[in-house]
Amino acid sequence: MIIIGAGATGLCAAITVARAGRKVTLLEQNSKIGKKILVSGNGKCNIDNRYIDNKRFHSQDPKFIEEVLNGYDYKSVESFFASIGLELIEGKEGKMFPMSLQASSVVELLEYEAKRAGVQIICDCAVTSIDKKDNTFTVETSQGIKTCEKLLIASGSPAAPQLGGSNSGYAFATKMGHTLIPRHPSLVQLCSEETWVKECAGVKVAGSAQLYANGEYITEKKGDLLFTNYGISGLAILDLSREVSIHLANYDYCELNLDLIPELSKEKLTNLLLKRIQEDSDKPLSLWLQGVINKKLIPVILKQSKCKANIEKELNRKEINKIVHTIKNLKLSINDTKGFKGAEVATGGINTTEVNPKTMESKLIPNLFFAGEILDVDGDRGGFNFHFAWVTGMKIGTNNL
């Protein structure tokens, strides 16, 4: 078997196929294998999630996800890693990491096991085209032509091109008759043309963000909000970005409603602020608000709230209501994302109705397989994307040979 792409999927598939006794050649365009694994989880590699749930994966074909993951929960991934000598530990929200907390240990152990099982790994080898005649695939590469009877395309998505993200697998697949679901950047930072965010660059709050598209409520995520010189990032934003990307591609007007203090209800925040007012105080409002909120955010809060008070003693219930409403509903229009370059994954990909979820084999071309992120499946942040990569990689070796 030839495998295109030595990422998480290709490495896991190569090991399971070679262990089943098949000759495997793994072709990688980069000079090193597993580049995305190396940078994942800020260098710690959030390798999986203990709480696998079909709802944490997205596709136009949810039944495919159900069938792929059936019988392949976290335990199956844990035993695969135990078999290569890697222990895992749990972080917050079921996130699993290598016990070393080093992504490099994941790549080095995968590489060692692949070679031990007999996999031939060829780096700096970009596949440029594939063809099939009779029962043989011809694979043209930057290092010459190779042939095989079984071919796995595990070349990933266009996310993070600086790490090898590419569209090439889609071109090979469509040439073979497969269709594609549109790809959009996901788990990506968002851009805004509003100038105030630049002035707040570097400010991070534990907040929440609601997404509205054309004025219609879409979804809400809690977590860090990080203002930047291009727009906004942070965990809540990455988690929202999938929906934003899809709506922007549809030319919808996207606006975020940011709650800067979600732990206090509107009533509690109002009472807190009302209690703080000293009736004879000339303290400037911008200073008074520093008692509760980051000072860089205050000018925008005062502007968006259209607050008429300038000093503390001018505050009254009506002005406080306006301020509270803005702190809990700060508006930020979004005009773009940081694109595939900033994205951790891509939505969309090979139409999964054309792939057998038990074997990962193409329903159109016998002995052609797809696995990992190239398929129209993407997961939430938290180890779900790697889960899909390991599971589909494993399935290639265990269900076909």
Ligand X SMILES: Cc1cc2nc3c(=O)[nH]c(=O)nc-3n(C[C@H](O)[C@H](O)[C@H](O)COP(=O)(O)OP(=O)(O)OC[C@H]3O[C@@H](n4cnc5c(N)ncnc54)[C@H](O)[C@@H]3O)c2cc1C
Whole-angstrom Cα distance, residue 214 to residue 229? 25
Order of all β-strands in the sheet with 95-98: 48-49, 95-98, 88-90
Stretch that binds ligand X, among 154-162, 213-221, 230-238, 261-269 (CB under 6 A): 154-162
350 is a site residue for ligand X (CB under 6 A): no
- Quick check: 37 and 393 in contact, CB under 8 A? no
Give the CB-nearest residue to ligand X: 7
Exactly one of 3, 17, 24, 40 binds ligand X (CB under 6 A); that residue is: 40
β-bridge partners, 304: none
235 is a site residue for ligand X (CB under 6 A): no
394 is a site residue for ligand X (CB under 6 A): no
Exactly one of 14, 17, 19, 41 binds ligand X (CB under 6 A); that residue is: 41
10 is a site residue for ligand X (CB under 6 A): yes
Per-residue buried b or exposed e for 206-229, using 16+ beta carbons within 10 Å of the residue's own CB: ebbbbbbbeeeebebbebebbbbe
Long-range contacts of residues 144-151, Cβ cutoff 8 Å, at least 24 apart:
146/2, 146/25, 146/27, 148/1, 148/2, 148/25, 149/1, 149/367, 150/1, 150/2, 150/22, 150/367, 150/369, 150/400, 151/1, 151/2, 151/3, 151/4, 151/367, 151/368, 151/369
376 is a site residue for ligand X (CB under 6 A): no
Q: Strand 254-259 to strand 368-370: parallel, antiparallel, or no bridges (unpaired)?
A: unpaired
Exactly one of 170, 212, 288, 386 binds ligand X (CB under 6 A); that residue is: 386
Helical residues (DSSP H) of 103-234, grouped into ranges: 103-116, 168-175, 196-199
Smallest distance from the beta carbon of 12 to ligand X, in angstroms? 8
**Per-residue mark of binding to ligand X, 295-334 (x: CB under 6 A):** ----------------------------------------
Give whichever of 29 and 304 is closer to ligand X, judged by the CB atom: 29
Exactly one of 2, 3, 7, 244 binds ligand X (CB under 6 A); that residue is: 7
Using alpha carbons, select from 233, 229, 250, 236 the residue that is nearest to residue 184: 250
- Quick check: 80 and 12 in contact, CB under 8 A? yes
Exactly one of 14, 110, 127, 191 binds ligand X (CB under 6 A); that residue is: 127
Give whichever of 226 and 302 is closer to ligand X, judged by the CB atom: 226
372 is a site residue for ligand X (CB under 6 A): yes
Exactly one of 38, 39, 180, 249 binds ligand X (CB under 6 A); that residue is: 39
Stretch that binds ligand X, among 35-43, 85-93, 332-340, 357-365 (CB under 6 A): 35-43
Exactly one of 2, 8, 151, 240 binds ligand X (CB under 6 A); that residue is: 8
**Which of helix, strand or coil describes residue 102?**
coil
Cα Rg for the chain, rounded, in angstroms? 25
Smallest distance from the beta carbon of 80 to ligand X, in angstroms? 14
Using alpha carbons, select from 96, 106, 107 the residue that is nearest to residue 46: 96
Exactly one of 98, 164, 185, 349 binds ligand X (CB under 6 A); that residue is: 164
Whole-angstrom Cα distance, residue 37 to residue 46? 9
Smallest distance from the beta carbon of 381 to ligand X, in angstroms? 7
Exactly one of 14, 130, 160, 264 binds ligand X (CB under 6 A); that residue is: 160
Stretch that binds ligand X, among 37-45, 110-118, 266-274, 313-321 (CB under 6 A): 37-45
Stretch that binds ligand X, among 31-39, 65-73, 299-307, 323-331 (CB under 6 A): 31-39
Q: What CA–CA distances, in Å, run from 249 to 159, 211, 217, 253, 254? A: 16, 15, 17, 10, 11
Q: What CA–CA distances, in Å, run from 57 to 13, 66, 200, 385? A: 20, 9, 34, 8
Whole-angstrom Cα distance, residue 397 to residue 377? 20
**Per-residue mark of binding to ligand X, 49-88 (x: CB under 6 A):** ----------------------------------------
Exactly one of 110, 154, 334, 391 binds ligand X (CB under 6 A); that residue is: 154
Stretch that binds ligand X, among 5-13, 222-230, 238-246, 313-321 (CB under 6 A): 5-13
- Quick check: 393 and 371 in contact, CB under 8 A? yes
The residues of the shown chain that bind ligand X, judged by CB under 6 A, are: 4-10, 27-30, 35-36, 39-41, 45-46, 126-127, 154-156, 159-160, 163-166, 168-169, 344-345, 372-373, 383-386, 389
